Amino acid sequence: MKLTVLFLTVAFMNVSANSFSQNVSFSGSNVPLEKVFNECKKQTGYSFLYPSSLLSIAHPVTIYAENMPLEQFLKELFRTQPIGYEINNRSILLFAKPVVPAIINPAANQSIDATAPQVNAFPVKIKVIDSLGVPMPRASVMVKNKKISKVTNAEGIADLQVDFGDVIEISYVGYETVTYTVRSITSVVYINLKLSDKGMDEVVTGYTRLRKESFTGNSIRITQEDIQKVGNRNVISALQIFDPSFRMEVNNIMGSDPNTLPEFYIRGRSGIGVKSLDQVDVSQAALSNNPNLPIFILDGFEIPVERVYDYDITRIASVTILKDAAATAIYGSRAANGVVVIQTVAPVPGKLHVDYNMLTSLSMPDLTDYNLMNASEKLQAEELAGYYKPDGITNPAFLTQELLAKRNQINRGVNTDWIAQPLQNALNQKHSLVFEGGFDQLRFSAKLAYDVEKGVMKGSKRERKSAALQIDYRVKNFQVRNDFSYDVVDARDSPYGDFAAYTRKNPYDEAYDADGKPVKTTTRWRYMAEPLSLVNPLYEALMTQNFNTNGYHAITNNTGISWKPFSKLTVRGEIALGRTFKRSDKFIDPASGTQVGVDNIGREGKLNIGRTDEYSFNTNIYANYVNNIGGHNMNFSGGVNIKENKGTQVSEFYAGFPSGQLNSPNYASVMERKSAYVDNITRLFGTFLALNYTYRDIYLLDLSGRVDGSSSFGADKRFAPFWSAGSGINFHNYNFLKGNTVFNRVKLTGSFGQLGKTNFPPYAAKGTYIVQQAKYSTGAGVLLKAMENPNLTWEITNTIDVVLDLGLFRNKLNINLNWYDKVTRDLVNDVDMPLSSGFPTYNDNVGKIRNRGVELGMRYDVIRKKDFYFNVSLNFASNKNTLVELSNSLRRYNELVNQQYDGFNDALAVLQSPDIKKRYSTAHTKFVEGASVTSIYGMRSLGINPADGKEIYMRPDGTITYVWSAGDQVAIGDATPKAQGTFALNAVYKGFSLYVACMYQFGGLDYNYTLLSKVENVDLYSNNADRRVLSQRWQQAGDLTQLKDISDRLYLTRPTSRFIQRNNQVRLSTLTVAYDIPQKKVARFGLSRFKVQLTGSNLATISSIQQERGLQYPFARTFELSLKAAL
């Protein structure tokens, strides 16, 4: 709350510092008007703006006022003057009143001369710019009352002769029309056009800007206003609302954890990525090697996904998603997974402008998918499972004694709600403050932002702080722009640990002792042999000093120099320098229950420290030539790109600490293992050419090519070419369709090309050595880190794309239909080697993956009036992923998957650790030609035999068996949905607006691990379980159930089609209500804008599959209240 008061104080400081009396006292006879102006300004602080020639038509005034309100004083002052006025913020604009022409009075036969001295017309330059501050040539500028029309030149300027009171209308296709009334003499008037909702008429590729009507590439552009409709926190999650091919995977493990980056892709998965046997968790480290990630370009330079995740939305002007070869080929070896181009807001010239944005959000844990048993239900399930029946080994008296002890706990009222203990309703705040202004030659923008995002698990948070300064200097044909930014991110994981630990705890166990302190371990009942299952996670959170923190400091400076030797040619050079310092610290208190065990004697307490220093250098030098010759429009681009990344990483591992408070490295008794030091350097050089050509805006052609060279590859494969070609026809520009009220836009385009990507470490292609501790007479020894492959090269992706774009019924109905085929070959994967080589695997180009699909986007403007706008939209995407070719190494991996199930028939499996149980029951990914990379494998099941409660399987040859076999596993489903997308409605009435978006998916299959791990394979004695244990497990002969005998607790269920279920889903993703208060109402407070917005995110989910979501960290519902104030 203190921060809110501080930011509001700063934001409105300008108003408070200039607050004067609103009343005027003045007495004078035949006083010059200018003297009255000066006295009025002294008393009120209001300035009078007018051309000096205007005073020539004024006459002296006689006025007497005592503490008179300002508006009344002005009415009296100008009542008899030929001058009018208008109050705008704290300025009073003066203008000549309309002149009444001479009127002839026939009855009196005389002329009434109503003329007065007039101010002559004066020149003004109208300069039209977009939201990025870039001049807009060929914008229409019209003086409405004089019917004078002009078009802006290449610098976005139109010269006019105007009079006071003239109304100027500025318009451009795809942008909102702006009107400007001449109230004062100004040499240059800046008009900032915003993209309209009806058409995003530009494509920003990062190297050039193209008219969408002339472009054959496939792209979608989203503005800042669109993003803020969805939410003000994270740009990545907002993009999937507007483009169905941009898909963010729902992380069912980490839920809403603010410190876990989302996994996402464009148009399906083009690589295999981290295999399930090698995957530890989905983290920043895992995502950095994800072969399916697109690249992000910020103002011309590539940035890591973590920076995008933390980037302040108020600094973003627009985001353009480039999807096909025609749009992305200029990025060559980095373009196969798509390109996301982010343009930041450019400084706008004029008087000092202050913007303040405040966001207050409330996140509440969403536990609707959890259906855990209470204490009495849990004990009932244990009795049904036979834990208290005589087993011939345990004394029956002991069994009865334990059962009575648990019943006594329940009768005393013990019913611990474990899952509520680590959770909270998180109240968060985000603030941003922007100062910008300047004049035509020099513009500036300074931005400050502070954002604290607490998670719904207590103690977890992600804190972001940023500062940015932009300076834009323009003189004649030169422009120099420098962008400096400093970002700090501090993240802390919840000390309450893994949420799954709370879902497993028995509700009849107490969490606190009689003094209200958490117990270190819960009650050790008869069969509890696993020590970690006794650990009280609340004790870990409240009574130890465990912590897990990470973060980074990033400094970036981008400098761009632009030169226009003549109006049609622009030459630009850009240099970006970046330095990022990352840290990670994880400490386990020696008092932690996890440190109990023989292996930790004398080594209790662990501290892992990681430090990373990254440096990046990136430069672009390119030129754009634009010309129109007799209907031939050409946009030619060419340039070079040089990029270098350096990085060093140090990891240290300490153990043996005296206490949780003494946790620095100097208190450690031993180093758990040798410190690790890794350094890396990569360089990339690329050169590209691109041509965008149209004839009469009907026939379209795009050609582009790029050659990249990388130091990551061997000497024989350093360079590779990439290219694209696209063509199209604008049928609506044919004469026979012009003026047609049905077909307003009919555009057909097609493109094909070759793109590339890299997703392997540099040592895979080049020999890299590790220095050993052993000393020899010749010096230290070294080992080869990995078997090098000098012939390793880029993965190559060939794409074909066809798009039909329609605008119907005066563009009220817009349809975009797209078909694509994307084949990725030379997949980089591990290849097995003989053990005699000393290396188990090496990297090689093997395998091929195809992604083929369709995309549909529709929008219909139901109502389109001046003060009322209402539309509905639907987008849809369907992608089929297929493994076309498979290497022997992947077939070998499939054999390793089968070996994971060795030992599952052990009748004592119930006594094994949870990790081993999970290994036996998890459906691991396999790779089979003709199947998808997201296919799910297991044995086909015929269900549970009603006679004995056992499962019946069907082998691939059709025979029936009771015996599960790893070799009989087949593809039993595909997790990728057949279709997914969003439907939304958007309504604007005067200053009010409403936006609702629902995401959907259908046709996909999922493996219901909740049924498996919380109902059927659950250790009912040690862990709590889903209530379906009582209703859906087989209990007696004749029961028709989906799940096996509740008393069968010796054998684990392995992957089977019994747990495959349809995963159809509809989610109310966003509900936003906003009110933009009219400018006239806020002007009295010295503001030019004040907007209030309330947004709800992830409000409800309807799913065909009932399973727990957010296993290690819960999902959350979020409500945001944002305020935007501008001076």
- Each residue of 438-491: pLDDT tens digit? 877 888 899 999 999 999 999 999 999 999 999 999 888 889 999 999 999 999
Please tell me the CATH code under which domain 223-352 is placed: 2.170.130
Q: Which pair of structure tokens corresponds to residue 76?
A: 């009296």
- Return mean pLDDT, the chain: 82
Angle 1062-1015-524 from CA coordinates, rounded to 5°: 150
Once rounded to an integer, what is the mean pLDDT over residues 833-852?
Answer: 70
pLDDT at 765 (0 to 100): 61
Residue at token pair 């117990």: 519
Distance CA 85, CA 48 (A): 9
pLDDT at 260 (0 to 100): 86
Residue 277 pLDDT greater than 80, yes or no: no
33-44 and 70-77 are packed helices; what angle lies between their axes, rounded to 10 degrees? 180
Residue at token pair 């000549």: 96
Residue at token pair 């009907």: 698
pLDDT band at 767; cut points 50, 70, 90: low
SS (H, E, C) 270-282: CCCCCCCCCCCCC
Residue 282 pLDDT greater than 50, yes or no: no
Domain boundaries, the chain: 2-98, 122-192, 223-352
Render pLDDT for 969-994 as a digit per residue (tens, 0 to 9): 899 999 889 999 999 999 988 889 99
- Amino acid 945 reads N
Residues 6+ apart with CB under 8 A from 864: 812, 871
Distance CA 69, CA 72 (A): 5
Residues 6+ apart with CB under 8 A from 812: 860, 861, 864
Residue 124: which of 89, 166, 84 has the closest Cα? Answer: 166
**What's the CA dihedral at 14, 16, 20, 21 to 10 degrees?**
140
Residues 6+ apart with CB under 8 A from 682: 644, 645, 710, 711, 712, 762
Residue 417: which of 535, 512, 495, 529 has the closest Cα? Answer: 512
pLDDT at 1094 (0 to 100): 94
Residues 2-98, CATH architecture: 3-Layer(bab) Sandwich (3.55)
Distance CA 1035, CA 385 (A): 9
> Which of helix, strand or coil describes residue 264?
strand
Percent of the chain clearing pLDDT 90 (strictly above): 32
Q: For 391-407, give one letter per residue: b (16+ CB within 10 A) or e.
A: eeeeeeeebeebeeebe
Render pLDDT for 875-929 as a digit per residue (tens, 0 to 9): 999 999 998 887 776 777 777 777 777 666 554 554 455 666 777 788 888 888 8
Angle 443-449-452 from CA coordinates, rounded to 5°: 170
Q: Are 62 and 29 in contact (CB under 8 A)?
A: yes
Q: For 1039-1068, give one letter per residue: b (16+ CB within 10 A) or e.
A: bebbbbbbbbbebbbbbbbbbbbebbbbbb
Render pLDDT for 389-401 as a digit per residue (tens, 0 to 9): 887 777 788 888 8
753, β-bridge pairs: 724, 799
Beta pairing class for 1089-1103 and 1005-1007? unpaired
Render pLDDT for 126-162 as a digit per residue (tens, 0 to 9): 888 776 566 777 677 888 777 677 878 767 788 888 8
Rounded to the nearest 5°, which phi and psi values hold at 567? -60, -25
Q: Which pair of structure tokens corresponds to residue 160?
A: 């006019």
Distance CA 910, CA 916 (A): 10
Distance CA 923, CA 918 (A): 10
Distance CA 655, CA 600 (A): 9
> Which is more confident, 126 or 351?
126
Distance CA 520, CA 540 (A): 8
Residue 299 Cα distances to 194, 335, 397, angstroms: 19, 17, 76
CATH 2.60.40.1120 corresponds to the domain 122-192? yes
Q: Which pair of structure tokens corresponds to residue 720?
A: 């590779």
Residue 512 burial (CB < 10 Å; 0-12/13-18/19+)?
Answer: middle
Residue 438: which of 154, 188, 169, 183 has the closest Cα? Answer: 188
Residue 89 Cα distances to 72, 355, 653, 659, 1084, angstroms: 17, 15, 62, 63, 7
Once rounded to an integer, what is the mean pLDDT over residues 678-687?
Answer: 87
Helix (H) or strand (E) holding 771: strand 769-776
pLDDT at 594 (0 to 100): 78
Beta pairing class for 23-31 and 219-223? unpaired
Helix (H) or strand (E) holding 40: helix 33-44
Q: Are 489 and 412 in contact (CB under 8 A)?
A: no
Which DSSP symbol is given to 868? E
- Amino acid 547 reads F
Q: Are 236 and 296 in contact (CB under 8 A)?
A: no
Residue 220 Cα distances to 205, 237, 321, angstroms: 11, 16, 5
Residue at token pair 């259906």: 371
Q: Which pair of structure tokens corresponds to residue 403?
A: 């059962």
pLDDT at 110 (0 to 100): 33
Render pLDDT for 243-257 as a digit per residue (tens, 0 to 9): 888 888 888 888 889
Long-range contacts made by residues 16-21, C-beta under 8 angstroms, separation at least 24? 18/45, 18/90, 18/1086, 19/45, 20/44, 20/45, 20/46
> What is the edge-to-edge ordering of all strands in the sheet holding 83-88?
47-49, 91-96, 83-88
Q: Which pair of structure tokens corresponds to residue 607?
A: 């501290």
> How many other C-beta atoms are found inside a 10 Å radius of the C-beta of residue 990?
11
Render pLDDT for 656-676 as a digit per residue (tens, 0 to 9): 899 989 999 999 888 888 888
| pTM of the predicted model as reported, rounded to 2 decimal places | 0.77
Helix (H) or strand (E) holding 246: strand 246-248
How many CA atoms lie within 13 Å of 280's alpha carbon, on the beta-carbon side? Answer: 5
Residues 6+ apart with CB under 8 A from 413: none
Angle 877-1103-922 from CA coordinates, rounded to 5°: 90
Q: Measured on CA atoms in the order 113, 119, 121, 124, is the torsion positive or negative?
A: negative
Rounded to the nearest 5°, which phi and psi values hold at 1048? -85, 100
> Which range among 24-28, 396-400, 712-716, 778-782 has the greatest average pLDDT?
396-400
Residue 983: which of 995, 969, 968 has the closest Cα? Answer: 995
Distance CA 236, CA 247 (A): 10
Render pLDDT for 613-637 as a digit per residue (tens, 0 to 9): 999 999 999 999 988 888 888 899 9
Residue 6 pLDDT greater than 60, yes or no: no
Beta pairing class for 606-629 and 632-655? antiparallel
Residue 676 Cα distances to 580, 653, 672, 769, 956, angstroms: 20, 9, 12, 14, 48
pLDDT at 532 (0 to 100): 64
Once rounded to an integer, what is the mean pLDDT over residues 98-104?
Answer: 38
Q: Are 1096 and 1041 in contact (CB under 8 A)?
A: no
Q: Are 140 and 170 in contact (CB under 8 A)?
A: yes
Percent of the chain clearing pLDDT 70 (strictly above): 85
Beta pairing class for 848-864 and 813-825? antiparallel
Q: Based on C-alpha coordinates, what's the Rg of the chain? A: 35
Helix (H) or strand (E) holding 76: helix 70-77
Residue 70: which of 39, 99, 98 has the closest Cα? Answer: 39
Residue 210 pLDDT greater than 60, yes or no: yes
